[in-house]
Structure 1
Amino acid sequence: MCSDPHRAAFVEVISQSPLLAPVLARWVSVKLPDAWLVAGALAQTVWNRLLGFPPETGIADIDLVYHDATDLSEAAETSHAQRIGALFRDLPLRFDVKNEARVHLWYAEKFGYPIEPYPSSEAAIASFPTTATAVGLRPGQAGYDVAAPFGLDDLMSLTVRPNKRQITEAIYHAKVARWRQIWPQLTVLPWEGTPAPQAGNHPDQK
């Protein structure tokens, strides 16, 4: 267990977002195991707040992940995605809902190399392409749970660092090329010469 110095600021930004606050307010209706809001929608909400941009700038969708190893079918994942989309149909963005327990079933076909099954949503978050987007948040029993395996310093300092645990250099460059166009103030670290980050003692900052 770890207390990240940026945790309070991160939670404040996300919980006050006009795009994400309604999701958090109705979280009890999500009803999915090991579910988290993750990745781009969180990181980009922080970037927009820090840079003074409109809250929706550059955000293409809202990523929601869960982990259900008891049903690895695509049909179940699609059904959950449709239900979540209907639940939040009043919001201006679509939801990308994924069962992280089944990612290994399609990953090789999409990206060209296999991966091991994720044992949890937090394990999946730790494999996300950059340290700034390897984050998750959800309402908990005492406020909010935060998953930040690499801490929050890169995110809150507008730093994009490759997480080489799983992605390729090509995937990293494709992502940061789009981000640079929208948020040119980001400090984007090169793939070459940037050491692979080590997951710290931050898996669940309650």
Structure 2
Amino acid sequence: MTDNPAIDIPFARLGNPCEASEEERCERLTEIIKDIPHIMTIVRTIRDLRLPDAWLVSGGIYQTVWNVITDRPHLHGIKDFDVIYFDGKDPSYEAEDRVIKQVEAALPDLAALLEVRNQARVHLWYEEKFGRPYRPLDCSMDALTTYAARTHAVALRMNDSGEPVVHAPFGLANLFAMRLVPNYSQKNPETYAEKAARMKALWPELDIIPWNQEHR
């Protein structure tokens, strides 16, 4: 037994929304992250840089947990670490590029794996790149509600006391269940299918919930 009861809950129970609380899932995620040095370094660095509304999001978090659950190396399958922030005062490319270089300089050993983006300017380039409109966001956490899968919508930052803070608008049960679930707020079944195929190849244990044809 440990001092934190959530640590003793099996992953299968954490993946069942009826058998564990969201508080217990957040506690387990926090404890996992504390044992991953490069994750802690990233969230500590973006806190210390005082970037506005800055978070580590998506794959670098949920894929790390999947690697822990399946006893794989921590970096298995992780394409990049997405760092997002929100600066509505200057949504220019030039300002974003300065922040990208600032973060990379602060994390030289991880620079090649970092993807830093100002969420206040996503709507300015998204349609040209992906062929569909994207509404202006209100804050960094607003972006999580638009991800292709609800399972992807998880964010992490470090508070001034050095403790990880978790945000997951759709909860964490799907993450711990290794279950990929579509998010229909954006009509992008092709993106969902592409991501699902890539992840299934890397984590065969995944349960992929197919995109409902009615939501095309």
TM bucket (normalised to shorter chain) is 0.7 to 0.9
Aligned residues: 195
The amino acid that maps onto 1:97 is V
Gap runs ≥5 in structure 1 = 196-206
- CA positional deviation for 1:60: 1.2
Native 8 Å contact 1:85 1:94 kept in 2: no
1:135 matches 2:151: no
Native 8 Å contact 1:62 1:96 kept in 2: yes
Native 8 Å contact 2:54 2:85 kept in 1: yes
1:184 matches 2:204: yes
The 3-state SS of whatever aligns with 1:96 is: strand
Alignment match of 1:50 (pick from 57, 62, 69): 69
Tell me the equivalent position of 1:172: 192
Name the CA distance, whole Å, in 1 between partners of 2:95 and 2:45: 21
Name the CA distance, whole Å, in 1 between partners of 2:128 and 2:44: 37
The 3-state SS of whatever aligns with 1:5 is: helix
Tell me the equivalent position of 2:128: 109
**TM-score normalized by the length of structure 2:** 0.84
**TM-score normalized by the length of structure 1:** 0.88
Larger Rg: 2
The 3-state SS of whatever aligns with 1:20 is: helix
1:63 matches 2:73: no
Tell me the equivalent position of 2:181: 161
- CA positional deviation for 1:167: 4.3
**Cα distance, 1:80–1:60 mapped onto 2, change above 3 Å:** same
Name the CA distance, whole Å, in 2 between partners of 1:28 and 1:159: 30
- CA positional deviation for 1:51: 0.5
Name the CA distance, whole Å, in 2 between partners of 1:167 and 1:48: 29
Alignment match of 1:22 (pick from 41, 44, 48): 41
The amino acid that maps onto 2:212 is E
Tell me the equivalent position of 1:204: none
Alignment match of 1:151 (pick from 171, 179, 183): 171
Name the CA distance, whole Å, in 2 between partners of 1:115 and 1:37: 21
Tell me the equivalent position of 2:7: none
Name the CA distance, whole Å, in 1 between partners of 2:195 and 2:22: 29
Q: Which has the higher helix share?
A: 2
Native 8 Å contact 2:47 2:157 kept in 1: no
CA displacement 1:94-115 (0-9 Å, x = unmatched): 2100000110001111111112
Gap runs ≥5 in structure 2 = 1-20
CA displacement 1:61-90 (0-9 Å, x = unmatched): 110000111001011111111110111002
